[in-house]
Amino acid sequence: MSVPLTLLGLLEREPSHGYDLKRDYDTYFGRGRPLPFGQVYATLGRLARDGKVVIDEVAPGDGPERKRYVITEGGATEVDTWLTEPVPAEPHLQTVLFSKVVLALMLDRPAAEYLDAQRAAHLQRMRELTEIRRSGDLVDAILADHGLFHLEADLRWIDMTSARLGALAAEVRS
């Protein structure tokens, strides 16, 4: 999954310090794999270099200075594009889709529409693989089946998540 885009998404919610971003990232997206501080600050440094975030406040602390980061218009556009565009339909996308759904709900964006767009992209790819399975030789068919079963698992997850968006929204916005 994309750490820079997820941090940008968290910054769109509200300007934050690196420490708070790491805490929120670990809470919602880390799932037992916390983001190292070094990676947080390195990522924020690159985002600032690329004009996606700016530092609006520097406060002295006990250790290093505490910098507060604010998303720029360019950064917000990038988040919007990422959320809106379906991910190319390949197997094993759950973590990216999960991040998109949670961020979309945090930012009060139409998560259900994003899931529908993703659903359509998945089914289109499944149609292509179904055609390969039908018209190709056995090796092609077996390979296509592998993709089909994994995409089907994604689709089941999309259906389950669509049915529980209300409850999930209440949880991630609390």
Partner 1 sequence: MTATSERYVIEARDVELSFGETPALRGASLSVVAGEILAIMGPSGSGKSTLLHCLAGILVPIAGEIHFDGRRVDTMSETQRSALRRDRFGFVFQFGQLVPELTAEENVALSLLLAGIRRDRALKEARPWFARMGLDGLERRRSGELSGGQAQRVALARGLVARPEILFADEPTGSLDSFTGEQVMDLLVASAREQGTTVIIVTHEPRVAACADREVIVRDGKATTLAADRVPS
Residues of this chain that bind partner 1 (CB under 8 A): 86, 116-117, 119-124, 126-127, 129-130, 134, 148, 151-152, 155-156, 159, 163
- Write out the DSSP string of the chain: --HHHHHHHHHHHS-EEHHHHHHHHIIIIITT-PPPHHHHHHHHHHHHHTTSEEEEEEE--SSSPEEEEEE-HHHHHHHHHHHHSPPP--S--HHHHHHHHHHHHHTT--HHHHHHHHHHHHHHHHHHHHHHHHHS-HHHHHHHHHHHHHHHHHHHHHHHHHHTHHHHHHHHT-
- Nearer CB in complex with partner 1: 121/143: 121
CB of 69 to partner 1, least distance (A): 34
- Nearer CB in complex with partner 1: 9/86: 86
CB of 76 to partner 1, least distance (A): 23
- Nearer CB in complex with partner 1: 70/123: 123
- Nearer CB in complex with partner 1: 31/164: 164
CB of 126 to partner 1, least distance (A): 4
